[in-house]
């Protein structure tokens, strides 16, 4: 079973490539969609232990 983040990431990347074929899409929008999609795919395939480490690191950085 895939996590919802992975599925959303795949849909974002697929939508970006589909929109690029159908309409003339600005490069910045394409980059944002692909970057966000790839990050969500990577986050979706990480183990729970790795996800917790990322959350702890973010909390430490934001407390400063």
| pLDDT computed for residue 1 by the predictor | 62
Q: Is residue 43 a contact partner of residue 5, using CB atoms and an 8 Å limit? A: yes
Domain boundaries, given as residue ranges, for the chain: 4-63
The token pair at 11 is: 């849909």
Q: At what angle do helices 4-22 and 27-45 cross, to 10 degrees?
A: 160
Q: Is residue 33 a contact partner of residue 13, using CB atoms and an 8 Å limit? A: yes
Q: Which residues make Cβ contacts (< 8 Å) with residue 8, sequence separation at least 6? A: 37, 40, 44
pTM of the model: 0.72
Q: Tens of pLDDT along 25-58?
A: 889 999 999 999 999 998 888 888 988 998 899 8
Asked whether residue 4 carries a pLDDT value surpassing 80, the answer given is: yes
């Amino acid at each position: 079973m895939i996590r919802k983040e992975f599925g959303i990431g795949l849909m974002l990347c697929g939508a970006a490539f589909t929109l690029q074929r159908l309409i003339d899409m600005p490069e910045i929008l394409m980059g944002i969609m692909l970057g966000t999609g790839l990050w969500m795919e990577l986050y979706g395939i990480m183990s729970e232990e790795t996800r917790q480490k990322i959350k702890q690191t973010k909390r430490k950085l934001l407390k400063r």
